[in-house]
Amino acid sequence: MSFRLNGVGLTHANGFVALKGVMLQAEKGERIALIGPSGAGKTSLLSVLGTALAPTEGLAEVLDFDQNFWLTAEVKKLRTHIGSIHQSPPIPGRQRVVTAVLAGKLGQWPAWKSLASLVYPLDIAGARAALERVDLADKLFARCDQLSGGQLQRVGIARVLYQQPELILADEPVSALDPTLALATIRLLIAEAEARGATLVASLHAVDLAIGNFSRIVGVKAGHIAFDLPASEVTVPLLHDLYASEGDELPVQAHEPHFLSQAAANEAATRAACC
């Protein structure tokens, strides 16, 4: 088991209820896409899975440790096995790209090595190899504030490739990339997870990216799980219902909405099977 959320609720400090009664479980190596309208609770859910926020209700277990453990100093060790890709990576602008990538392993290294690496990067070859995979090897010594939003997003991905965590949590990891690069980057994350048997949970704005690449799709709406289905069973009406608060248009990335015909075919198949 990679994680288990049992009746998880999360009320933010200002009293806002971001999650309620969430039941969600994943085996090691599963790859899950989270979709849902803006404000649905996807980032809140990923923050709980990343142990950054403890549930205010229910029970959460991540990599075999429950939320009581998250409050102890030992949680640092657990977090070295979790790699988070944030929508806007929290990287100091003055930092060099190489240092930002090596930060992926800071928690795994002894303190002397982490400190030394901040002064002089200790594993330049490792950082370069990770950056090559996101096509940014030429930016190794660039300052992060010289990069575009899309490049910075890929530095955040390179950091997690370098970290090699058991659980990869990606919050809209390709929101700043053009459709072609977004697709390639999602495939890279999936290939990485598959090759290492890591669990991957990615929230995605574009439903076609989710359905076309992930086998399990979790729809999040108003703080709860609206559906949890194999991609082959996600239908157009289900998607319209999920995104009802955002109007009639479904958020898709590709101009050619062939995924919709896939979702329509799913629907026809489901209907044929039941009636």
Ligand X SMILES: Nc1ncnc2c1ncn2[C@@H]1O[C@H](COP(=O)(O)OP(=O)(O)O)[C@@H](O)[C@H]1O
Q: Among ligand X, Mg ion, none, what binds residue 39 when CB lies within 5 to 8 Å by partner kind?
A: ligand X
d(Cα 24, Cα 157) in Å, to the nearest integer? 25
d(Cα 40, Cα 25) in Å, to the nearest integer? 19
Beta bridge partners of 6: 59
Q: Among ligand X, Mg ion, none, what binds residue 38 when CB lies within 5 to 8 Å by partner kind?
A: ligand X
Dihedral (CA of 136, 186, 239, 48) sign: negative
Q: Which residue in 18, 85, 127, 155 binds ligand X (CB under 6 A)?
A: 18
Size of the site for ligand X (CB under 6 A): 12
Q: Which stretch binds Mg ion (CB under 5 A): 39-47, 60-68, 92-100, 187-195?
A: 39-47
Work out whether 50 is an interface residue with ligand X (CB under 6 A): no
State which residue, 41 or 219, has the beta carbon closest to ligand X. Answer: 41
d(Cα 275, Cα 271) in Å, to the nearest integer? 6
Work out whether 43 is an interface residue with Mg ion (CB under 5 A): yes
Q: Among Mg ion, ligand X, none, what binds residue 173 when CB lies within 5 to 8 Å by partner kind?
A: none
CB of 246 to ligand X, least distance (A): 11
Q: Which stretch binds Mg ion (CB under 5 A): 40-48, 159-167, 242-250, 265-273?
A: 40-48
State which residue, 12 or 196, has the beta carbon closest to ligand X. Answer: 12
CB of 28 to ligand X, least distance (A): 25
Q: Which residue in 39, 150, 179, 251 binds ligand X (CB under 6 A)?
A: 39
Work out whether 221 is an interface residue with ligand X (CB under 6 A): no
State which residue, 84 or 266, has the beta carbon closest to Mg ion. Answer: 84
> Could you tell me which of 172, 182, 168 has the C-alpha nearest to residue 212?
182
d(Cα 251, Cα 37) in Å, to the nearest integer? 9
Binding site for Mg ion (CB under 5 A): 42-43
Binding site for ligand X (CB under 6 A): 12, 14, 16, 18, 36, 38-44
